[in-house]
Structure formats: C-alpha cells, structure tokens
Amino acid sequence: MSFSGWTPWLIEQMEPDPEAFTSYTRQFSVLLPAGRLRAREIPAWRAWLPSRPALRACPQCIAMSTPPYPYQLLWLLSLTLSCPFHGCLLEPRQKAATYFSDWERKPPTPRPADSKVLAMDDRTWHAMTTGSVYLPRRQVHAGIWFRLIRTIIDELGATLTEYRTARRMIMRIWQEAGYPFRAGPLSWRPYEDYPLAVQLHTLEATATAIHFLESRALMGLGPDAAFFLPGPSTPRGEL
C-alpha cells in the first residue's frame, strides 16, 4: 500500500544512505564486465523513487471504473511502461493522481505496448504481486529482478569511458530502441533524477536489451547475463 511496504525487496531502505546506490546497482553485472562501473556515493538516493512522482495512468482502467478512481502505486514509479491487464501504455498525467475530469471529457486513445515492453512489465508485475519472477533458467526472488533491471538501466546510461569495448553493443541497443545514447542527456545522472520522458525511453531500451539477451542477438559481458540465457547451469544469487 506504500513505498515503505516494499522494503527491502524494491527499496532497500527508506532512510537515505550515500552507499545505497553502489550496493543496489553494483550487485550484478549484465551488459558490462563486473567491476567496469565505478562506485558512486549519492546522498539521499533511493532506488526507483523519482525526483517527482511519475504521474501516469492506464486509460482503459480509468474508463472501466467510476469516481473515485482507483490508482495503482506502480503508476507512480518509472518501473513499468504498460498496464498488465490491458497491454496498453500508461499515459502521462498533468493533474493530481485521482483527478480525471479531463479524461472524462476527452479520454486518451489507448496505445498498445510493444511485445518486448509487455514481456518485461509482466515480470515486474509478477514480482510486485507474487514476490518472484520466472526467468529462462529458473524462478528468482523479486528483489533480484528489481536489481537486475536497475543494473541494466545503469549500464545503458554509463559514461563512455566505462564502456570501452562494449560501446558498440550499447549503442546498438539504443539504436534498436529508437533513441539516442542515454535518451538524450549528455551528462550522467542517476536514472531517478532524469525527466520522466528520459526515464521511460530508458525503460524501453532496457526491454530491448533483455530481448536481445534472451534471443541471443547479443551476448552480455557480465557474469549475470546468464540469468537471461537458457541452460542447466545456476547463476549466483537465485532462490
């Protein structure tokens, strides 16, 4: 019912900790070799909590309900792009979360989400509602899933000097997602501090990266890319 209820699965702790960023985003390595990204101390950082709430809603969920409209906690986080029930993209909101008079007059047209996005968001929804996720190799704890996708996000937005030989692979992911490197911003910032549009474009690139890994269109250079590959071996950190 609240963000604090998702500690330590989604958010390790509600109290800010300068070392929280490194402990959360450096536990795994997927696209880049382990140890490639430098440690960072970011005061007041908390995983997934944006500087401003990511006000979005599913147009079909709202159309099928009556005032007072329900609101999903997940809609306030830049953690998913689509509705798990209707398969359409969440639409940005400019007003208070439960105030939908503008949508009553002129509801937005639902836009279907890409299959790569739906696959990633379906796992995130299962993580939030069941506490676990099925990956190609086996079922893993929700906390592992949240940290894996946050790791990929950070790898996609790393500095060019940290990429080294992986630069071509990273650029290919961004190109396939349809966005420039880092979705536009030139300087590095934590994902949660970027504008909402940049966060959502980065989530699309993350879904693209996962699709590439699972289809073997590219091979991640980190040891935990094995989570996304079929096979009998057991990656570290699983249930």
pLDDT tens sequence across 170-228? 999 999 999 999 999 999 999 999 999 999 999 999 999 999 999 999 999 999 999 99
Hey, CA dihedral for 127, 133, 139, 140, is it positive or negative?
negative
Average pLDDT, the chain: 89
Q: Which residues of the chain have pLDDT under 70?
A: 1-3, 14, 68, 70, 96-98, 231-239
- Pairing assessment for the beta strands 56-57 and 91-92 based on DSSP bridges: antiparallel
Backbone phi and psi for residue 133, each to the nearest 5 degrees, phi listed first: -140, 140
Q: What share of the chain is helix, strand, coil (3-state, %, to 5)?
A: 45, 5, 50
Count the neighbouring beta carbons within 10 Å of the beta carbon of residue 61: 19
pLDDT at 96: 64
Given a contact cutoff of 8 angstroms between Cβ atoms, the answer to whether 137 and 234 are in contact is yes
pLDDT of residue 97: 60
Nearest to 209 by CA among 198, 196, 222: 222
Between CA 36 and CA 45, with CA 41 as vertex, the angle to 5 degrees is 110
